[in-house]
Structures are given as C-alpha cells and as structure tokens.
Amino acid sequence: MTSMSRAVLNSRCKSIAILTLILGLCFLQTGCGWFFGEKGIFRDRGNNYLKADNIPPLTLPEGKQSASMGELYPIPVISATDFGYDPSMEYEVPRPMPLAANSREDKVRIQRVGGESWILMNAAPGELWPRIRNFLNVNGLNASYANIGKGIIETEWLQFKTDPELQHTYRLQIDQGVQPETSEIHITHYSIPASQPLPAEVNWPRKSVSAEREKWLMDELAATLASDATEGGTSLLAQNIGGNVKASLGMLRTETVIYIRLDHTRSMATLAFAAKKEGFVTFESDHDAGLFYVGYKDPEDMKPGWFKRVLHLPHNPKLPTTDYTLAQLAEILPKGEALDQAPLSKRSKEKVLPDADGYMLIVTGEQNNFVVRIRDPYGKRLEPKEARQLLTVLRKNLI
C-alpha cells in the first residue's frame, strides 16, 4: 500500500471517528432528556403540586345533611394589607425565623442584667416544669402552691441549720425566653423571723430579701438542669407558660420592627448587647433617648479571601466608621408623627450632615411594650428587605 493510500485511509478513519463521537454525544444528550428531562421517565416531580388545579366542592343530594362535610383546612381570603406591607413596593417573602435562634449558645446559663439574675435555658417551658418539680422534691423543697398556667411554684417554709432565727420560702417563676424555644427561671427569696407566725399569703417583694439565698438556689438548680442527661418528659399543660416570646419581629405601618416586651433597663441592655454582634458595631448610644447609632458590615465580607487563607497572610478587616456623633444626628431625627410617616432613605440627597454612614436604632413605646425601628442616620425608612435582614440579625442576638 502506497503512502498516499495510507494517508487517505487515515483521513477517512479520523472522519468516521469524529462522526461517531458527534453522534454519540447527540445520543447522550437526547438520551438524558429522554430519561431525566421534563418529559422523561425519571423526571423530577417535586414541583408537580404547582400545576395542581382546584376541583369543585363535594355536593350532596337534596335532603342530606352537610354539617359534617365542612373543609378540614379552610384557606381564608387575604389581601396585601393583612401582611402590613405596601403593595406598591417590591416585596420578598421572608424566610421563617429558626425555632432555636441561639442554639449555638450553652444550653443552661445564668444571665445577669443590672441587679437582676435568672436562669436561661434552651428548652421550652413545657420541658422545664416537670424537671423543676422533680428537683424541688428531691431536695426536700415541697411546693405549697403551684400554678401551671402562670408558671409559678412557691415552696413551703423552711429553716436552714446555719440560720435558725429565720424562716425562708422561695418563689420560682418560669417564663418564655426572649428567643424562640427558650425559657427563663426567675427565683425570689423571702424570709421572716422564726418567732413570727407564718402569714396566710406571702406578699412577695420585687427583689429577694437575701441575694445570697437566691444565688444558692439558682446555682443548685442551674447545675442540676445542666447535668441532667435524662431530660424527662414534657408537660402538655405547661406549653403555654408565659405566653408569647418576649421579643418578636412584626410589622408597624408597612415597616418591619422588633417588639420587645421587657422593662426599660433590660430592653436597653439586651439591645446594647445585640448591637455589637454578628457585624454590628455601636458608635454611640443614648439609653434615655432610646437611640443607638450603629454600623453594620456583613461578617462574610470581613472574612479573609482565598489568597490570604492559602498563604496565611495577616487579615485586618476594616470595621464600619462614622464622621458624625449621635448628638449631631439626633438633632435632625424626625419625631412623633413625622417619625411614623418618614419617607424612604435617599442618603445621597441629604444636604444637612451629608454622607452619614451607618444606621439608627430608634426605640419607642412604653414599659414592657417597646418598638425598635432601624432607620438610616437621618431617621428615614429603609427598603423593606434591608430592614428585615438587619433586624433579623439583631433579633437573633437579643438576650
């Protein structure tokens, strides 16, 4: 065979191989579509429910009773105003809050704010009620009064060997925590002279008579709850102890806000704590005025890049800063009705104190019913999506 014949043969073989490869790829593409495409045998049926249509309701013959044929899961008629947002603005359905927003924290810890202390636990009140009753029984602290609806347990009067001149009693109050699926246990101690007749009803003080006696029982109970591996059952009757959580996201006049159902001291303290977590930086605050001037930077943006991680180079992320003081900005903040009706933020068009950075947390309301708004430094409203994202981070770190 001549060299020319070999060249022609090789050229034909290459052409056949290329044609075979092209046909094979086409077959694979059509084959994948045939097996896994939208009309394939093994297609994804996960979104089939989106194509479902309504069917007419069941009708009964005349003369038959239809009282028991009502809908099991009726869907109410709703409108945009039911969700508290402005339908003329772009709106995105938010992700639901996690059941346990602070699941990374210790399961049991003693929390102190100012002169108040309590046990904070990552468990629902329904789980705690039987465990606390068991703790009291094991330690000889019999209950003289228990109200499962209010989450209150009061012990019988007792005497300590080291303090025979006094008679003591305790009151344990179980409340819903600030975070979902958390509980707070507040303990109050009261004592009277041993020579004094026992009162028919205790007039419980706001604070314990003896902070030392309160601390003793709190430490013992917290240690027992933390070391108790067998968590026990759940009391169905105690599921509604304390009502709703003490802080929640909500809507107020088309604006996302945080509702805080705590006293003033603790509300300011828990906001001050949260405004320094997960990207938030507090520039200045005025608790009496209910103002927090803060900055925010997404923690993901402060992480070192791939190049620095590989080469182990030093990483010093820049935290948010500001050129203005809280006092300067507080003078131009809208108040009263003007705060409620403030327009959307347009920082670039501000003429007074231009180009201010950060955000303003504005706290209004009254004792045990505070409203927290997040605005731009001039008190103007943020876009709904931005406001909700920032308040969700803040809400997650409240204590």
Across the strands, what pairs with 366?
Answer: 369
Number of domains into which the chain is organized: 2
Residues 227/230/235/240 CA torsion (nearest 10 deg): 40
Q: Specify the pLDDT at position 318.
A: 83
For the full predicted model, state whether its pTM sits above 0.95: no
287 domain residue, yes or no: yes
What per-residue confidence (pLDDT) applies to 117? 93
Q: Is residue 280 part of a domain?
A: yes
Same domain flag for 287 and 231: no
392 with 261, same domain: the answer is: yes
Instruction: Specify the pLDDT at position 98.
Output: 52
Q: Which of 197, 214, 238 finishes a domain?
A: 238
pLDDT in tens, 86-101: 555 555 555 555 544 4
Mean of all residue pLDDT scores within the chain: 82
More confident residue, 205 or 84: 205
Q: Compare 255 and 42 and report the one with higher pLDDT.
A: 255
Residue 265 lies in a domain: yes
Distance CA 172, CA 190 (A): 12
Residues 216 and 276 in one domain: no
| 267 within a domain of the structure (yes/no) | yes
Asked whether residue 364 is assigned to any structural domain, the reply reads: yes
Q: Is residue 295 part of a domain?
A: yes
* Rounded Cα distance, 247 and 216, in Å: 29
314 is a domain residue: yes
The CA-atom distances, in angstroms, between 174 and each of 133, 179, 228, 243 are 12, 14, 18, 11
* 323-344 average pLDDT score: 94
Given pLDDT bands bounded at 50, 70 and 90, which one contains residue 35? low
Strands 143-147 and 152-155 turn out to be antiparallel
CATH number, domain with residue 172: 3.30.530.50
197, two tokens: 């007749």
On the question of pLDDT at 275 being above 90, the answer is: yes
Whether 193 and 300 share a structural domain:
no
pLDDT, residue 233, reads 57
- Per-residue confidence band for 14, with pLDDT thresholds at 50, 70 and 90: low
The answer on 350 and 210 residing in a single domain is no
| CATH number, residue 359 | 3.30.310.170
Whole-number Å distance between alpha carbons of 376 and 346: 9
Same domain, 164 and 256: no
* DSSP one-letter string for 316-364: -PPPP--SS-HHHHHTT---THHHHT--B--GGG--SSTT--SEEEEEE
Buried residues in 365-384 as b, exposed as e (16+ CB within 10 A): beeeebbbbbbbbbbbbbeb
Domain limits for position 165: 108-238
pLDDT higher at 214 or 306: 214
52-65 pLDDT per residue, tens: 777 777 777 777 76
